[in-house]
Chains A and B, each alone.
Chain A
């Protein structure tokens, strides 16, 4: 991850040195990138666990191009979250066959993933 002094692309011209430290050290720049993906150098190490972290996403960097979050993305996450939660409650309260237990990993993973995405979206810097 580029250090605070180097992070000259902090949002709104705020203290660049602090942009990577906001909100529990989670870098939210992935949600609202300020520079087009084409202008940023593509990282060479997909794991991100190298000595030099070339982009401002640091260890969370991937080779995918970033894009702003659209309203339909949020709607999709809310839908997945709701459906997963309802499915979980339905399975726990109405199912009796052991086979339904195999649906729990799918339901729980989608619930956790959608909750994380919604949490990140809600906690994004404004």
Chain B
């Protein structure tokens, strides 16, 4: 029998595991960012990333918002797991969009386009692509592209001129390549999974004397 995603709670289990990973990242990133803030001398001018973002207000607000939304998501998913065992198919799109927005918000205070947290985009895109397939991969890539351009926009405003445009373009291209390849692998896996399920059903029916 083919597995129905909705009735098996596939999406729900995936989202619960993502919530756990989010808690881990909030903790790790929070510790790192506050450590960075303590290293900055008082009244020092910070020339990292977008000006005016590496401060307690921005970092505290970012972490508080992430923790709040994650907590709400966690509670919602736990309740759903105990009651209906399913969630709306739209939920994964919303959670993926939230993850990408949070990663984008993390870039300005940590170096902007030179931030090491750019790699977290890949983690989000790969994990969502592997779980949910090509469609979500493509949506994630488009959203990533737009959000990252927003970061570049903030860094280069008002001139909007990038000295290393081709480098940034190749970075974006690299992420696209990874996302599309992951989406392709996920789609192929799903197709093979359906083939296996179909053959199992066929064998079961044939061994029972019934033709499919």
Contacts and interface: CB of A to CB of B under 8 A. Distances in A.
Interface of A: 1, 3, 5-6, 24-26, 49-51, 53, 58-59, 88, 91-93, 95-102, 104-105, 108-109, 112
Contacts of A95: 165, 169
A113 to B, nearest CB: 10
Nearest to B190: A59
A105 B137 CA distance: 13
Q: Which 9 A-B pairs have the closest CB atoms?
A: A101-B149, A92-B169, A98-B152, A98-B160, A105-B145, A105-B142, A96-B165, A92-B166, A51-B2
Contacts of B5: 49
B116 to A, nearest CB: 21
Contacts of A108: 141, 173, 176
Given A1-B198, A104-B145, 8 more contacts: A25-B192, A49-B2, A92-B169, A92-B173, A97-B165, A98-B152, A98-B160, A108-B173
Interface of B: 1-2, 4-5, 138, 141-142, 145-146, 148-149, 152-153, 156, 160-163, 165-166, 168-170, 172-173, 176, 180, 188, 190-192, 194-195, 198-199, 202, 212
A102 B144 CA distance: 11
Contact of B162 (A88, A96, A105): A96
Contacts of A96: 161-163, 165
B162 A102 contact: no
Is chain A's binding surface mostly helix, strand, loop or mixed? helix
Contacts of A109: 138, 142
B2 A98 contact: no
Nearest to B1: A51
B180 A101 contact: no
A101 B161 contact: no
Contacts of A25: 188, 191-192, 195
Contacts of B198: 1, 3, 53
Central interface residue in B148, B161, B165, B166, by most chain A CB within 10 Å: B165
Contacts of B165: 92, 95-97, 100
B172 A101 contact: yes
Nearest to B148: A101
B191 A59 contact: yes
A3 B212 contact: yes
Contact of B160 (A49, A99, A112): A99
Contacts of A101: 145, 148-149, 152, 168-169, 172
